[in-house]
């Protein structure tokens, strides 16, 4: 049976090894240019955890998410679901995989078809992946609406009749409709007001506990990741530069980029906030079309050394639960 729980000692639901994703970008009257979106990325996501992937816009977070969901083709590397490679799945295997892996996109306004009633949107995955009759499906949809805090009598309405927070609840209901194990949350809060963000976060935490879900939580907001996740990887220009449990990484950040991101998070105490020194990065983010040699962060690094310009940093284990890719820590 595909995707059986093979190794009880290894509780990784997703394991990525040396993932690279590149594609050709072509403009009018110009030659195609190779864009390196993700470069040699590796990570492990444990079952029933919330794994944070944080970094600036354009660093490859969404490309990584789409690779896991098999929405795009990868260039090289392996993506394993319960130790089984999902790179070359048959159509039957792919349907089962996609039932277990769902994705919540950033913008609830563009995630829902404005011409389709929200009840029909939520029931679509149920019709595709189950053999339930239409009466069972309608009942399931109403139950899902209640579960995410929506009025079950509003299933006949259209997306434009709901607020942003309500639309995101509809998207969550759709993701839950086929009882998945793993949900990719791609910036699910960034399009919402701060007050609504906390409501959606609490809803997602409640659902995780009730259904034993695993989340990959993608965000550019490192403060949000700190309060929501168990484990975090910091991503820069297609590479992971630091990774660890939230407790260890935020208590003892090692990479200059991680330190810069953390320095931008406001401190609630006004006196401490005034005394704190924010780290300002040099230059702009380099283009993925023309990647820097050596460490990809070196053009912006305020702790630059000569080896950084030519030597690609290797992974260094700070502790058993914390690693960094930085030449500053190589002997």
Mind listing the pLDDT tens digit for each residue in 101-153?
999 988 888 889 999 999 999 999 999 898 889 999 999 999 999 999 999 99
Q: Which two tokens stand for residue 263?
A: 């320095």
Note the Cα 48 to chain centre separation in Å.
15
Q: Which of 9-18, 145-154, 227-236 has the lowest mean pLDDT?
A: 9-18
Q: Which domain holds residue 234?
A: 12-24+33-329
In this structure, of 76-80, 156-160, 301-305, the range with the lowest mean pLDDT score is 301-305
Q: Is residue 212 part of a domain?
A: yes
- pLDDT on residue 264: 84
In a domain, 185, yes or no: yes
2 belongs to a structural domain: no
Residue 5 lies in a domain: no
41: enclosing H helix or E strand:
strand 33-46
Q: What is the pLDDT of residue 122?
A: 95
Segment 46-67 shows an average pLDDT of 94
Confidence check: pLDDT of 13 > 90: yes
User: What mean pLDDT do residues 195-205 have?
Assistant: 90
- Work out the percent of the chain whose per-residue pLDDT is above 70: 95
Residue 163, domain CATH = 3.40.50.300
| Arithmetic mean of pLDDT over the chain | 89
Tell me what the mean pLDDT of segment 262-289 comes to.
80
Q: Is residue 104 part of a domain?
A: yes
Q: How many domains does the chain have?
A: 1
pLDDT tens-digit readout, 74-98: 999 999 999 999 988 888 888 889 9
In a domain, 6, yes or no: no
* Range with the largest mean pLDDT of 16-20, 221-225, 270-274, 303-307: 16-20
Cα(78)–Cα(270) distance, integer angstroms? 47
Q: If you search the block for the tokens 């699910």, which residue do you land on?
A: 188
> Which residues share a beta bridge with 53?
218, 233
Element (H, E) at 54: strand 50-54
Q: Does residue 7 fall inside a structural domain?
A: no
| Full-model pTM | 0.90
Q: Is residue 1 one of the residues assigned to a domain? A: no
User: Is 320 or 288 the better-scoring residue by pLDDT?
Assistant: 320
In angstroms, the CA 257 to CA 302 distance is 9
Q: Which percentage of the chain shows pLDDT scores above 90? A: 67
Report, as an integer, the average pLDDT of 289-315. Answer: 92
Supply the pLDDT for residue 192: 82
Rounded Cα distance between 177 and 127, Å, is 10
């Amino acid at each position: 049976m595909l995707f059986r729980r093979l190794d009880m000692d290894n509780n990784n639901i997703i394991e990525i090894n040396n993932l690279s994703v590149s594609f050709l970008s072509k403009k009018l009257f110009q030659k195609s240019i190779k864009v390196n979106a993700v470069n040699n990325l590796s990570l492990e996501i444990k079952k029933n955890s919330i794994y944070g992937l944080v970094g600036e816009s354009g660093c490859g977070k969404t490309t990584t998410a789409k690779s896991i969901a098999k929405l795009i083709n990868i260039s090289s590397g392996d993506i394993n679901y319960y130790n089984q490679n999902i790179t070359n799945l048959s159509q039957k295997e792919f349907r089962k995989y996609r039932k277990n892996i769902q994705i919540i996109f950033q913008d609830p306004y563009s995630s829902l078809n404005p011409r389709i009633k929200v009840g029909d949107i939520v029931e679509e995955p149920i019709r595709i992946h189950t053999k339930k009759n239409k009466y069972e499906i309608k009942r399931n949809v109403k139950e899902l609406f209640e579960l995410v805090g929506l009025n079950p009598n509003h299933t006949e309405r259209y997306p434009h009749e709901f607020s942003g927070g309500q639309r995101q609840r509809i998207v969550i209901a759709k993701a839950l409709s086929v009882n998945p194990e793993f949900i990719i949350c791609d910036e699910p809060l960034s399009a919402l007001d701060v007050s609504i963000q906390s409501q959606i976060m609490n809803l997602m935490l409640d659902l995780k506990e009730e259904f034993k879900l695993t989340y990959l939580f993608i965000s550019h907001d490192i403060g949000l990741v700190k309060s929501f996740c168990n484990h975090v990887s910091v991503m820069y220009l297609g590479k992971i530069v630091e990774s660890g449990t939230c407790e260890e990484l935020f208590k003892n950040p090692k990479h200059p980029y991680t330190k810069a991101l953390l320095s931008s998070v406001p401190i609630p105490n006004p006196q401490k906030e005034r005394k704190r020194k924010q780290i300002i990065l040099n230059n702009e983010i380099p283009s993925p079309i023309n990647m820097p040699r050596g460490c990809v962060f070196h053009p912006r690094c305020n702790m630059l050394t000569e080896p950084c310009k030519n030597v690609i940093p290797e992974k260094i284990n700070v502790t058993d639960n914390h690693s960094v890719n930085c030449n500053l820590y190589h002997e």
